[in-house]
Structure 1
Amino acid sequence: MNYKNIIFALLLPFGSLAQKQPADYVNPLIGSAPSTTESAKKHSEAGSEMKGQIVPAIGVPQGMTSWTPQTRATELKCIPPFYYNDTKIQGFRGTHWMNGSCVQDYGSVTIMPMSGKLTINANERGSDFDRKTETVKPYFYEVILKKDNIKAQMTALARAGFLQFSFSQKQKNYILVEPNSDEGEGFVEIHPEKNEIVGYNPVHRIYQGFGKSAGFSGYFVIQFDQSFTDYGVWKDQNISAKATQAQGNGKKQAVGAYAQFGNQLVKVRIGTSFTSLEGARKNLESEINHWDFSKTQQASNLAWNKALGKIEVKGSDYDKTLFYSALYHAKLTPRIFSDIDGSYPGFADDDNLYKAQNFTYYEDYNLWDTYRAVHPLHTLLEPKVSADMMQSLVKKAEQGTWLPIFPCWNHYTAAMIGDHAIAAIGDAYIKGIQDFDIKTAYRYMRKNAFEINTDPKSYEEGKGRRALASYLQYNYIPLEDSVWQAFHKREQVSRTLEYAYDDFVLAQVAQKLGEKADYETLIKRAKNYQNVIDPATGYARGRYANGTWIKPFDPFVQRSSFITEGSPAQYTFYVPQDVQGLIKHIGGTKRFVEKLDTLFEQGYYWHGNEPNNQIVYLYPFANQAWKTQEKVRQIIREEYDISAGGMSGNEDGGQMSAWLVFSMMGYYPVCPGTPNYVLGSPSFEETTLHLPNGKTFKIVAKGNAATTPYIQSARLNGKVFTQNFITHQQIMAGGTLVLNMSSQKP
């Protein structure tokens, strides 16, 4: 047995060697421990890649609120509520953490059982636990809290959670409820006559507008299946028995509530909402109106199997665990933000409540990351979900007056670079997603691309493209523009490259809509990448307003001020819209391949950060597809595994996992906004997509094995297939792609 099989055996729950349902292959703990890959160790940017930024999210795909064991009592930036290597559990949190990110949790609430002495401080109440007693599935979590020998169980649906606690002791048994407000503005209220505790946790912004109110709260209604024998609230360390209400004073004051129970089994159901307590109550009544824990668990399990089962694979259990865990991680955000009746809070500074008509409103878009593969995956598998996500972006633009670039906690952020709501919307539209308002979307996409925001206050808040004035004046962003009004400052070359790509995608939308003049302007701007890639060196390079290149210059420096989270050498290949033009611009095919080879052979490729994700798929553009096939297989084995440390970089809303999903299937969307997927090397003997139109598309890799990464020949629906890419339309038409695999380079 090799080491991977050993890891797999250790991670399996007891008695489950023959798992048949996709959800039962998922290990939600992958990525929650410090990364064990060489890429992360070598290239870690802020250090977060080395910590583990993923929490085991229990619930359903795209759920409003997920549930996770809490090991850190915080809503601070870059600190998730769970770390695999922590040894104590402080409670069980209804969380809105954006998995794998370096942002913040918000609007969360924690529930903690205990026996004997009432201990309210999160660090002091923490209990040891044994991972041998822990079961972690997307739809179910169970653990024994050793301190008081309490068995805790969790399951959840989209807007409501269900917890139950089995107390072993007949002394005083408590359940604590704590809104995790870092700003000390939490509120709790006990209704003993209803066996109920309610409350809210106000949400605050980071990045632009740091510390300001986001204009809404995370509301919760918690109901218990039995009456309280005692109850009370606390503020800081002061407990008030029989008191029914506590409100934080905004001075970092911790507040919470507790209830005491006489029975040894206590069931807890929780409704959540971003609109009101009444909204949380309606969500709970709609989703969990009973006290049957197993019924909710089964519903959650069914939701995951329905979503994950849209891709059926044949291969080893290890690879199925790797694959379905990645697909699970790619289906967590954006999250549902509207109540069961469609109500949701207005975007940014709009204080109104709205109702989503015929769509679900979504929030938390890691767009700099997720436009690359997460949103294309939604578009491929879940066109209705994709359409609703795009319509949600349209509504944000209408309510906020500008199309957001990186919307989180229902607000503008200016968190990252680029303008990739354009990429996500454009890709969905070009691939045939029509059930959203593309005309209104285009108006705001165009506004972002053509209009300079001249209002200093709203620009600082994150409305409008950063440094657009310079981009339009010079057709690149010169080094003199330091881009101060952004979280990521400077980074002029990366911004230029990403805007050129966004302009290309918008050009495709303009062409399809018949906006000829816009198309001609934008397709010309899509060539702006040429203005920041030096033909002499063949690398992306900082440039001054007078046209001179920055000196001294080293293309392999990881932290160049004009590059975002990478090196000039890596960003040179961020021209997905015109790879053939890039090849010509830097001196031809031979030089292009040499530069690609240098990245991989000399250790400069950094899989753990998103601008690198498409690079391995560029060899086919230079007629060396076999190198893509070889290196994709290598990356999968070196950068991912099924242990808790098996993620090579920040997951960032599912992008690292979505890359893996596509790559294990055998193709990747190098340029979202076009209908093409570049072929790689499938990991499975067979991969079947059960498409939303009722058809199936199957990839059969004959002779597939770890030692046979190379495609020798192919047939699509029985006909010889010689292309290095397959189109979205070909996949959606259904059929079978047969690949003959070999250990010999073609």
Structure 2
Amino acid sequence: MNYKKILFALLLPLGSVAQKQPADYVNPLIGSAPSTTESAKKHSEAGSEMKGQIVPAIGVPQGMTSWTPQTRATELKCIPPFYYNDTKIQGFRGTHWMNGSCVQDYGSVTIMPMSGKLNVNTTDRGSDFDRKTETVKPSYYQVTLKKGNIKAEMTALSRAGFLQFNFSQNQENYIVVEPNSDEGEGFVEIHPEKNEIVGYNPVHRIYQGVGKPAGFSGYFVIQFDQTFTDFGVWKNNEINNKVTKAQGNGQKQTVGAYAQFGNKLVKVRIGTSFTSLEGARKNLEGEINHWDFSKTRQASNNAWNKALGKIEVKGSDYDKTLFYSALYHAKLTPRVFSDIDGTYTGFADDDNIYQAKGFDYYEDYNLWDTYRAVHPLHTLLEPKITADMMQSLVKKAEQGTWLPIFPCWNNYTAAMIGDHATAAIGDAYIKGIKGFDIKTAYQFMRKNAFEVNTDQKSYEEGKGRRALASYLQYNYIPLEDSVWQAFHKREQVSRTLEYAYDDFVLAQVAKKLGEKADYEALMKRSKNYQNVIDPQTGYARGRYANGTWIKTFDPFAQRSSFITEGSPAQYTFYVPQDVEGLIKHIGGEKCFIEKLDTLFDQGYYWHGNEPNNQIVYLYPFANQAWKTQEKVRQIIREEYDISAGGMSGNEDGGQMSAWLVFSMMGYYPVCPGTPNYIIGSPTFEETTLNLPNGKTFKIIAKGNSAKTPYIQSATLNGKPFTQNFLTHQQIMAGGILDLKMSSHKSL
């Protein structure tokens, strides 16, 4: 992306008293504190969902490296670099944290200013700060560190960051640089003649191959705008003055570098890369080749306004903050992984350096979560970015020989269940996204669906569908198959349901490509959900290989071994590809509605976990759309607010936020892989999509308020509209959906 062009895209200067821009409404701190929503309090079993797993990510949409204040030094699993309730800042980190997830940061580097005595210990150097001195925006962070009274500011583009520190005291002023290698393998080198510190932080895997090298590092080139008055390095907090190089020995040895300055204002610009120091330098020169902090800040701000401004809404400032903050959070991952010249490191065990020609190479796909709404949102608003993301998945498959299930830190994982790269690629293709190699993609999608990986070592590394042999043999995964070669073991019923959905999406791709035999076979397999939903009880239920159902069974139990992160009752509704068939299978519309009502009315619905996300949009399939309209409004108010604790579940790469974006607009993609969006109840009186084809699609909700959630009537482009869904084609064609809202239910 050319951020030099974006700099001139919007003309309003920072600080203008003119009308607010979308980025002005964003609060990046939402979700960074333990959840305080009423719904989250009801679900105290949620674990990490209660902690707050979001960091304020400063940079640009889908940026390679974001910048955040650091309150935790580690790169350990499930520990983000920032917690809102922490009281000390240890530095400012160039981070690759997957926002809202329980994964790991990797390849990161931290920069910390200090005055007086040099202190390189990560914890001891931490400084108190006052929230009142903070400014937190997508393009800019500013805080005053009480220790030394230092004003710190940062902004960033995709591959390069810009920090500046204003030292107020006339004493020794230092900046320390630390690669955050938990394994103690970090490297730093000082080039005092260049006013420069360079280094790298080797990346290691979690999940499959835990602890093994990931095959690449996070590289950084840090340049300062003035000469050093002193410098040195440290190992395990032991300072070595005038020494220019330090290398960790791999035994959890901390290393870092420092530089001393005479001037009070020090500017720092940092290039980052996953290929090499040379790549980091090229990225810096290509994105920030000047010392004008405000210019970079403006470019970052413009990039956000351009991205967020593709949706315009009319409503209260509170709701705009909720909406644009969610849209911001949905645009952080997957991240750009290739350098500015297109180079990137090969996927998984492929150590080659590749050139991405005509596309950006992306990484860090929370696919079990993000196929649901994040990727459909990109598909709707950003077709080029979507095409690049899908082409990146194709390249991973070509280099690794299997389509990855949940690719993170440029490696295979078997972190979650399902085969949802198929869902993301299939949805993009069905909705008309061009610019990626669908024929090659189909070959690998088909391989995942039809071929059992018999190579034990590569299977353990995460290649191929988990338990596919059982699925093909029984048309469900029986309880006897414990699925040991996965991070999530067992969970047989959930796996069956998700594979049946993935098979349906692949069938749609096969049909469009003219693969008739595959289409017919996959459509038959898409009915496999019937084999794990007991028609007698009407609930998803564990089943043995001989066909008998598990005897000890509670449909509302949150810890059933055959269910993933939820209850059997919740997973019963994971049949997005055939809701009408599900209704018949469990006894008809009356039973279906009763089961839905039980979830919501008796508190069994848990919005904070993704398999629940589509459930509220299922009422229209049984002719009770008004309940969707009513309950969507309720969920928005109970599950989200604009405080730091204003999210009730793990964000998981933007999924919880993408749900909110779609729901506040008034519709949701219940079944990615089909072109349909189920209509809910819009929050705003007016929502305008500025579509990538130059057209606009507007939803006008006449008489809309908190007391009027129900749609009484609708017209589309002036003609009566009675469908419970919009199609992708209808939206992309542009037009106006006029809704008449009411406080009375429309039966």
Q: How does the TM-score come out when normalised to structure 1? A: 0.98
Output the amino acid matched with 1:363. E
**305 and 412 in structure 1: CA distance in 2 versus 1, 3 angstrom threshold:** same
1:205 is the counterpart of 2:188:
no
Post-superposition CA distance 1:664-723 (Å, at most 9, x none): 000000000000000000000000000000000000000000000000000000000000
**97 and 306 in structure 1: CA distance in 2 versus 1, 3 angstrom threshold:** same
Q: Which residue of 2 aligns with 1:161?
A: 161
1:269 is the counterpart of 2:269:
yes
Output the amino acid matched with 1:242. K
Once residues 570 and 15 of structure 1 are traced to their aligned partners in structure 2, the CA distance between those partners, rounded to angstroms, is 47
Q: Which residue of 2 aligns with 1:494?
A: 494
3-state SS of the aligned residue for 1:359? Answer: coil
Post-superposition CA distance 1:483-508 (Å, at most 9, x none): 00000000000000000000000000
CA contact (8 A) 1:19 1:25 kept: no
User: What does 1:216-295 align with in structure 2 at a 5 Å threshold?
Assistant: 216-295=216-295
Once residues 42 and 216 of structure 1 are traced to their aligned partners in structure 2, the CA distance between those partners, rounded to angstroms, is 42
1:728 is the counterpart of 2:731:
no
User: What does 1:357-436 align with in structure 2 at a 5 Å threshold?
Assistant: 357-436=357-436
3-state SS of the aligned residue for 1:171? Answer: coil
Q: Which residue of 1 aligns with 2:180?
A: 180
* Structure 1 residue 17, shift from structure 2 partner: 9.6
Q: Which residue of 2 aligns with 1:518?
A: 518
Once residues 51 and 192 of structure 2 are traced to their aligned partners in structure 1, the CA distance between those partners, rounded to angstroms, is 42
Once residues 471 and 684 of structure 1 are traced to their aligned partners in structure 2, the CA distance between those partners, rounded to angstroms, is 45
Post-superposition CA distance 1:36-91 (Å, at most 9, x none): 12332333556211110000000000000000000000000000000000000000
Once residues 52 and 592 of structure 1 are traced to their aligned partners in structure 2, the CA distance between those partners, rounded to angstroms, is 34
3-state SS of the aligned residue for 1:512? Answer: helix
3-state SS of the aligned residue for 2:124? Answer: helix
1:718 is the counterpart of 2:726:
no
Unmatched 5+ stretches in structure 2: 1-13
**256 and 66 in structure 1: CA distance in 2 versus 1, 3 angstrom threshold:** same
Q: Which residue of 1 aligns with 2:682?
A: 682
Output the amino acid matched with 2:258. Y
3-state SS of the aligned residue for 2:527? Answer: helix
Once residues 44 and 76 of structure 1 are traced to their aligned partners in structure 2, the CA distance between those partners, rounded to angstroms, is 23
Q: Which residue of 2 aligns with 1:568?
A: 568
3-state SS of the aligned residue for 2:526? Answer: helix
Post-superposition CA distance 1:114-167 (Å, at most 9, x none): 000000111100000001000000000000000110000000000000000000
Once residues 41 and 98 of structure 1 are traced to their aligned partners in structure 2, the CA distance between those partners, rounded to angstroms, is 24
* Structure 1 residue 192, shift from structure 2 partner: 0.1
Once residues 318 and 433 of structure 1 are traced to their aligned partners in structure 2, the CA distance between those partners, rounded to angstroms, is 34
Once residues 504 and 434 of structure 2 are traced to their aligned partners in structure 1, the CA distance between those partners, rounded to angstroms, is 20
Once residues 331 and 57 of structure 1 are traced to their aligned partners in structure 2, the CA distance between those partners, rounded to angstroms, is 11
Output the amino acid matched with 1:160. A
Q: Which residue of 1 aligns with 2:607?
A: 607
Once residues 328 and 116 of structure 1 are traced to their aligned partners in structure 2, the CA distance between those partners, rounded to angstroms, is 38
Q: Which residue of 2 aligns with 1:625?
A: 625
Once residues 40 and 480 of structure 1 are traced to their aligned partners in structure 2, the CA distance between those partners, rounded to angstroms, is 34
Once residues 703 and 84 of structure 2 are traced to their aligned partners in structure 1, the CA distance between those partners, rounded to angstroms, is 38
Once residues 717 and 628 of structure 2 are traced to their aligned partners in structure 1, the CA distance between those partners, rounded to angstroms, is 24
Post-superposition CA distance 1:621-662 (Å, at most 9, x none): 000000000000000000000000000100000000000000
Output the amino acid matched with 1:159. R
* Structure 1 residue 303, shift from structure 2 partner: 0.1
Q: Which residue of 1 aligns with 2:6?
A: none
Once residues 17 and 667 of structure 2 are traced to their aligned partners in structure 1, the CA distance between those partners, rounded to angstroms, is 30
Post-superposition CA distance 1:518-565 (Å, at most 9, x none): 000000000000000000000000000000000111100001000000
Post-superposition CA distance 1:306-350 (Å, at most 9, x none): 000000000000000000000000000000000000000000000
Once residues 115 and 176 of structure 1 are traced to their aligned partners in structure 2, the CA distance between those partners, rounded to angstroms, is 11
1:321 is the counterpart of 2:321:
yes
User: What does 1:525-604 align with in structure 2 at a 5 Å threshold?
Assistant: 525-604=525-604
Task: State the Cα RMSD in Å.
Answer: 1.0
Q: Which residue of 2 aligns with 1:356?
A: 356
3-state SS of the aligned residue for 2:656? Answer: helix
Output the amino acid matched with 1:617. Y
Once residues 175 and 58 of structure 1 are traced to their aligned partners in structure 2, the CA distance between those partners, rounded to angstroms, is 20
* Structure 1 residue 19, shift from structure 2 partner: 5.7
Output the amino acid matched with 1:190. I
Once residues 574 and 237 of structure 1 are traced to their aligned partners in structure 2, the CA distance between those partners, rounded to angstroms, is 52
> Hey, which bits of structure 1, 4+ residues long, moved more than 2 A?
14-19, 38-46
Once residues 604 and 504 of structure 2 are traced to their aligned partners in structure 1, the CA distance between those partners, rounded to angstroms, is 28
Q: Which residue of 2 aligns with 1:27?
A: 27
* Structure 1 residue 248, shift from structure 2 partner: 0.2
Once residues 18 and 605 of structure 1 are traced to their aligned partners in structure 2, the CA distance between those partners, rounded to angstroms, is 43
Once residues 18 and 103 of structure 1 are traced to their aligned partners in structure 2, the CA distance between those partners, rounded to angstroms, is 41
Post-superposition CA distance 1:460-482 (Å, at most 9, x none): 00000000000000000000000
Once residues 83 and 678 of structure 1 are traced to their aligned partners in structure 2, the CA distance between those partners, rounded to angstroms, is 36
3-state SS of the aligned residue for 1:738? Answer: strand
Once residues 46 and 251 of structure 1 are traced to their aligned partners in structure 2, the CA distance between those partners, rounded to angstroms, is 35
3-state SS of the aligned residue for 2:168? Answer: coil
* Structure 1 residue 368, shift from structure 2 partner: 0.0
Once residues 361 and 36 of structure 1 are traced to their aligned partners in structure 2, the CA distance between those partners, rounded to angstroms, is 37
Post-superposition CA distance 1:183-236 (Å, at most 9, x none): 000000000000000000000000010000000000000000000000000000
CA contact (8 A) 1:134 1:143 kept: yes
**614 and 85 in structure 1: CA distance in 2 versus 1, 3 angstrom threshold:** same
* Structure 1 residue 280, shift from structure 2 partner: 0.2
* Structure 1 residue 15, shift from structure 2 partner: 9.4
3-state SS of the aligned residue for 1:47? Answer: helix
**577 and 482 in structure 1: CA distance in 2 versus 1, 3 angstrom threshold:** same
Once residues 692 and 575 of structure 1 are traced to their aligned partners in structure 2, the CA distance between those partners, rounded to angstroms, is 31
Q: Which residue of 1 aligns with 2:10?
A: none
Once residues 44 and 650 of structure 1 are traced to their aligned partners in structure 2, the CA distance between those partners, rounded to angstroms, is 13
3-state SS of the aligned residue for 1:123? Answer: coil
Once residues 185 and 121 of structure 2 are traced to their aligned partners in structure 1, the CA distance between those partners, rounded to angstroms, is 17
Once residues 42 and 495 of structure 1 are traced to their aligned partners in structure 2, the CA distance between those partners, rounded to angstroms, is 27
3-state SS of the aligned residue for 2:190? Answer: strand
Output the amino acid matched with 1:552. T
* Structure 1 residue 18, shift from structure 2 partner: 7.8
User: What does 1:336-351 align with in structure 2 at a 5 Å threshold?
Assistant: 336-351=336-351
**270 and 15 in structure 1: CA distance in 2 versus 1, 3 angstrom threshold:** closer
Percent identical pairs in the alignment equals: 89
Once residues 17 and 414 of structure 1 are traced to their aligned partners in structure 2, the CA distance between those partners, rounded to angstroms, is 50
Once residues 37 and 305 of structure 2 are traced to their aligned partners in structure 1, the CA distance between those partners, rounded to angstroms, is 30
Q: Which residue of 2 aligns with 1:102?
A: 102
CA contact (8 A) 1:338 1:356 kept: yes
Once residues 86 and 701 of structure 2 are traced to their aligned partners in structure 1, the CA distance between those partners, rounded to angstroms, is 42
Q: Which residue of 2 aligns with 1:462?
A: 462
Once residues 17 and 251 of structure 1 are traced to their aligned partners in structure 2, the CA distance between those partners, rounded to angstroms, is 54
* Structure 1 residue 362, shift from structure 2 partner: 0.1
Once residues 85 and 106 of structure 2 are traced to their aligned partners in structure 1, the CA distance between those partners, rounded to angstroms, is 23
Once residues 569 and 734 of structure 1 are traced to their aligned partners in structure 2, the CA distance between those partners, rounded to angstroms, is 39
